[in-house]
Chains A and B, each alone.
Chain A
Amino acid sequence: MTTANSAQTEGPSASLQAASLEFRQATKRYDGADRPAVNELSLEVPAGEICVLVGPSGCGKTTAMRMVNRMIDITSGDILVGGESVRDRDEADLRRHVGYVIQQIGLFPHRTIAENIATVPKLLGWDKRRTAARVDELLDLIGLPAEMGGRYPAQLSGGQRQRVGVARALAADPPVMLMDEPFGAIDPINRERLQNEFLRLQAELRKTIVFVTHDIDEAIKMGDRIAVMQEGGHLAQYAPPAELLMHPANPFVEDFVGADRALKRLALQRVRDVDLWTAPLVHAGDPAPEARAKLAAAEVPYALLVDDGDRPLGWLSERALAGEQVSAELSSDPEPVVELDDILRDALSDLLAHEVQYGPVVDHQGRVVGVLSIELLSHAIAEEPEGG
C-alpha cells in the first residue's frame, strides 16, 4: 500500500497540495438575531494564497472563518475545501485537516511544547517515531532549539508561544489554515517580526490561509487578497491589496482603508520596483567638462561624488565642477542612502526626515545604481500597480 519511505517524515517541501477554498453564499443566522452574522458571503481563495478577512468588530469576520472548520455551522449556503463541501465532512476529521491558530493561542498548559505540537499527529494515529521527527522539524522551522520541546508553555515568552501555536497548526501539514488575529496579542515590535517570519514560511509552504484581523495595515501586509467586511456580515470588497487601496468599492471601504491609503500603497512596493533616475556619478579628479555633460543629461541638479567602489560620498557643489578637474568640494553628504530592497514608504520617510528631494540608491554591495526622488515617489503613488 505505502512504501517504506512514506512512513518517514517529510520536509515542508514535500507538503500536501494546498487546496482551494470557496465560500458560496455562506450565511450564518443566529436564532433571535434580527440580522445574519454572516450574510451570503461568496468568495474564492486560490490554493496557496492568503485571504485576509478584515473589518470592524461585529462584522462577522471571525464567524466566517469559524464556519470553514465547522466550529460554527453554516445556516445556508456552503463552503468548499478542495472542491468538497464541509457539510459532508465528519466534523473531527475536517478539523484535523485544517490548521487552526487563535489569538489567545490556546496551548495546553499541562502539556510540554513537544506534546502540544504533536496533538494532531497523535489524533491521526501517527507512530511515535514519525511524530517525534515531525516535532523536531517544526521546532527547527520556527527557530526554537530542540530542548525547548520538553518545556511547558508557561516557561516560554509570548512570541515563542505564538510560534509554537503556528507549529502546532502546521504539524500534520494541513492544506488549509485558519488564523484568527494570530499576532494580535503580541507587542508591536515582535508582531512585525512574527509577521515577516510567517510570510517567509508561507513563501515556502504555500498553504491556503484564511487570516482574520481588524488591522488594515496587517491585512495589506499579509494578504494576497483582502476581503473587507462590514457590519451585518456583508462583503464590501474582495480584491488584492493594491487594488483595494487604489479603487475602494464604496465609501465604507474608503473610510476603512483610511485617508492615507495612497501612502499605504507605497508600503506594497519596493525601491527596485521604481524606474529610478540615472545618477550623475563622478569621481574626484575626473575631467570637469565630462562631469558637467553628465550632469546636464541627468534629472538631478547635482552630481554625486562616489569613491572607487562607486559608494556614495556626497553631493557636489557647483564650484566643484567649475575647474579643469572635479574637486571633492561637497555641498552636502549623501544621506539618506536608500537600498534597492527598502519599502517605498520607508524610503519616503527617510527623504522627508532628511528634508531632501533626492537620495542615492545602492545595491547590496553599496554601489550606487540610481537616484530616488520625491517626484518619483509621487508618481508611484498615482500609478496603477503592475501585477499583484
Chain B
Amino acid sequence: MIELVFAQLQRRDRSGGDCVADNGICPDWIADNFDRYLDPFWQHVYLTLVSVAIGFAIAFALALLAHRRRWLAPPITQVTGILYTLPSVAVFFLLLPLTGRGNTTAIIALVAYSLLILFRNFMAGFDNVPDESKDAGRGMGLSYRQLLWQVELPLALPEIMAGLRIAVTTTVGLTALVFLAGAGGLGEALFADINFRSNVLVAGGLAVLLAVVLDLLILALQWALTPWMRARA
C-alpha cells in the first residue's frame, strides 16, 4: 500500500544546468522555483495550527475534568499515552476508510499525538501552584471557578506554555508525514524529489524555520503573559 502512496507523488519536472542535473544545491534554481513551495508551506502552517489548537482545547477540557475529579487523571494519561505511542503511519491507514484522504484524517492524527504532551503539562502546571496560595485564596472567599481562573491557571502558565512549545514543535515535524494521508504539506514537496538536494534543503529548511518561528512566538507570548516571572528582588 505504501508503494501506492509514493507512486502517486509526481516527480517534479526540473530543468536547469549541470548543478540541477547533479542533484546539487543550486541557488539559481531555488530562486526561480521558490514559489512552488509556498502552497505546501501554508498548508503545513494551517495543519499545524489547527491541530495544536484543537489538541489544546481538548487537553484543556480533559485537564479541567481531571483537576476536579482527581481519580480521572491516571486513566486519561493512559489513554492519551496509548494514542501517543501508535505509529503515525498506522493511524493514517486505519483512519483512511473512515475519514478518507485529506485534511480531516491528518488533523485527527495530529491532534491525537499532541494530547498527551498538552494534558500532562496542564496537570504539571496545576501541581505547581503553591498550596498556600490556593488555601489563602479559598480562605478569602474565592469560589472554585474564581480560584481556577484567577489563581491556578495563571500560575500554571509556565508549564502550560512549555507543553505548547513541545506540542507545536513535534506537530510541525509530524505534519511532514501527513502527505501519506493525502493532506499535502512540506512533506509532500520533500518526498516528491528526495534525491535533489536543493529540494530537500528548501522543503526541509522551511519546516525547521516554521518550528523555530512558532516556538519563539509562544516564548514571546509567555514572556508577555507572565510579568511576575521576570520580577526578582
Minimum CB–CB distance for A68 against chain B, Å: 10
Q: How far is the CA of A213 from the CA of B189 in the complex (A)?
A: 71
On whether the beta carbons of B228 and A106 are closer than 8 Å, the reply is: no
Query: A69: CB under 8 A from chain B?
Result: yes
On whether the beta carbons of A109 and B139 are closer than 8 Å, the reply is: no
Minimum CB–CB distance for B180 against chain A, Å: 44
Minimum CB–CB distance for A90 against chain B, Å: 9
Tally of A interface residues using CB under 8 Å: 31
Query: B138: CB under 8 A from chain A?
Result: yes
On whether the beta carbons of B141 and A106 are closer than 8 Å, the reply is: no
Q: Which residues 125-168 in B have Cβ within 8 Å of A in the complex?
A: 130-143, 146, 151, 154-155
On whether the beta carbons of A120 and B141 are closer than 8 Å, the reply is: yes
Instruction: Say what secondary structure dominates the interface of chain A.
Output: mixed
Mark contacts of A105-142 with chain B using CB atoms, 8 A cut-off: 1 yes-contact digit, 0 otherwise: 11111110000000110010000000000000000000
On whether the beta carbons of B231 and A155 are closer than 8 Å, the reply is: yes
Number of A-B contacts (CB under 8 A): 80
Report A-chain residues with C-beta under 8 Å of the C-beta of B134: 106
Minimum CB–CB distance for A165 against chain B, Å: 8
Minimum CB–CB distance for B150 against chain A, Å: 8
Query: A93: CB under 8 A from chain B?
Result: yes
Asked whether A106 and B135 contact (CB < 8 A) given A95-B141, A96-B140, A123-B141, the answer is: yes
Query: A102: CB under 8 A from chain B?
Result: yes
Tally of B interface residues using CB under 8 Å: 24
On whether the beta carbons of A109 and B140 are closer than 8 Å, the reply is: no
On whether the beta carbons of B228 and A110 are closer than 8 Å, the reply is: yes
Mark contacts of A143-175 with chain B using CB atoms, 8 A cut-off: 1 yes-contact digit, 0 otherwise: 000000001101111000000010011000000
On whether the beta carbons of B140 and A108 are closer than 8 Å, the reply is: no
On whether the beta carbons of B138 and A95 are closer than 8 Å, the reply is: yes
Query: B1: CB under 8 A from chain A?
Result: no
Q: Specify which of A69, A94, A156 lies most central, judged by the most chain B CB atoms within 10 Å of its CB.
A: A69
On whether the beta carbons of A154 and B228 are closer than 8 Å, the reply is: yes
Report B-chain residues with C-beta under 8 Å of the C-beta of A92: 141-143
Q: How far is the CA of A91 from the CA of B227 in the complex (A)?
A: 32
On whether the beta carbons of A71 and B138 are closer than 8 Å, the reply is: yes
Report A-chain residues with C-beta under 8 Å of the C-beta of B133: 106-109
On whether the beta carbons of B232 and A155 are closer than 8 Å, the reply is: yes
On whether the beta carbons of A152 and B137 are closer than 8 Å, the reply is: no
Report B-chain residues with C-beta under 8 Å of the C-beta of A111: 228
Asked whether A105 and B228 contact (CB < 8 A) given A69-B139, A123-B140, the answer is: no
Q: Specify which of A69, A108, A155, A157 lies most central, judged by the most chain B CB atoms within 10 Å of its CB.
A: A108
Q: Specify which of B132, B139, B154 lies most central, judged by the most chain A CB atoms within 10 Å of its CB.
A: B139
Q: Specify which of B132, B146, B154, B228 lies most central, judged by the most chain A CB atoms within 10 Å of its CB.
A: B228
Query: B220: CB under 8 A from chain A?
Result: no
On whether the beta carbons of A71 and B141 are closer than 8 Å, the reply is: no
Report B-chain residues with C-beta under 8 Å of the C-beta of A120: 140-141
Minimum CB–CB distance for B202 against chain A, Å: 43
Query: B98: CB under 8 A from chain A?
Result: no
Query: A302: CB under 8 A from chain B?
Result: no
Query: A211: CB under 8 A from chain B?
Result: no
On whether the beta carbons of A123 and B142 are closer than 8 Å, the reply is: yes
Minimum CB–CB distance for A157 against chain B, Å: 8
Q: How far is the CA of A111 from the CA of B140 in the complex (A)?
A: 15
Chain B residues close to A by CB (< 8 Å): 130-143, 146, 151, 154-155, 226-228, 231-233
- Given A107-B133, A107-B136, 10 new contacts (CB under 8 A): A96-B140, A96-B141, A102-B136, A110-B228, A119-B140, A123-B140, A123-B146, A155-B232, A156-B233, A168-B140
What are 20 of the A-B contact pairs (CB < 8 Å)? A71-B139, A91-B141, A94-B141, A95-B138, A96-B141, A100-B136, A102-B132, A102-B135, A102-B139, A105-B132, A106-B130, A106-B132, A107-B133, A110-B155, A120-B140, A123-B140, A152-B228, A152-B231, A168-B140, A169-B140
